Amino acid sequence: MESKKEKLWNVPNVLSAYRLLAVPFIVQAIVVGNNSLFIILLSINLITDILDGLIARVFHLETELGAKLDSLADIGTYVMAFMGMVMLERAFVMEYRAEFAILMVMWMLPQLLSVIRFGRFPSFHLWSYKVTGYVQGIFIFTFFVFEFHEGYFYFMLVISCFAYIEELMLVILLPSLNSNLRSIFFVLRSRTK
């Protein structure tokens, strides 16, 4: 019984739970228009996202609960980042509304299809998603702290769309949801063996 408790309450799961608990505080920062608090809290969420996955892999603490918790925290952070951009930088979002619409639709498609097909969000933890998280995090941080760089914005858009397409393909192809798949190439290779 004790070993089961240790698996559920390990450092990566606590970090993911923190990210979920931080969501209402990020919402508060957005509602009151506090850009500094928003970017600080969002940055902490992004850093703890990197740490929970790293710690889970290095110390072999990966669990199905941890993967689901991490995915929910990722969704919360992603939605908060988008909401923060829309609410705090409305003029910028309106100027690039087509790009933001593409980004949101491409992200939402695999999420919605997964809920329809499997009754839950995917928790693949793809390498492409990890890269996308870093690229998007850098974009948001530099946008709020420094200035807008259009070239990097479009780079972020392309990288994000490739990751969302990979996730969508997996949601369509897989007969059931699995966690920690790394890449569609590993999945396709294992299916041909």
Q: For 30-87, what is each residue's pLDDT tens digit?
A: 999 999 999 999 999 989 988 888 898 899 888 888 888 888 898 899 899 999 999 9
Triad 133, 134, 136: Cα angle to 5°: 65
Q: Where are the domains of the chain?
A: 1-88, 90-193
Residue with tokens 């760089």: 149
Confidence tier at 4 by pLDDT (50, 70, 90): very low
Q: Is 67 exposed, middle or buried (0-12, 13-18, 19+ CB in 10 A)?
A: buried
The larger pLDDT score, comparing residue 185 to residue 27, is at 27
Round to whole Å and give the CA distance between 73 and 76: 5
For 30, half-sphere exposure in the C-beta direction (CA atoms, 13 angstrom radius) is: 21
Residues 110, 167 contacting (CB under 8 angstroms): yes
Q: How far apart are CA 146 and CA 109, in angstroms?
A: 32
Tokens of residue 147, six digits: 């200035």
* Structure-token pair, residue 193: 């063996």
Residue of 106, 105, 122 whose CA lies nearest to 114: 122
What local confidence, expressed as pLDDT, does residue 3 receive? Answer: 45
Identify residue 75 by its one-letter amino acid code: I
For the entire predicted model, the pTM comes to 0.80
* Secondary structure percentages of the chain, helix, strand, coil, to 5: 80, 0, 20
Counted residue by residue, the chain has a size of 193
Residue from 77, 85, 125 nearest 101 by CA:
85
pLDDT digits (tens, 9 = 90+) for 95-151: 999 999 999 999 999 999 999 999 998 888 899 988 998 899 899 989 988 989 999
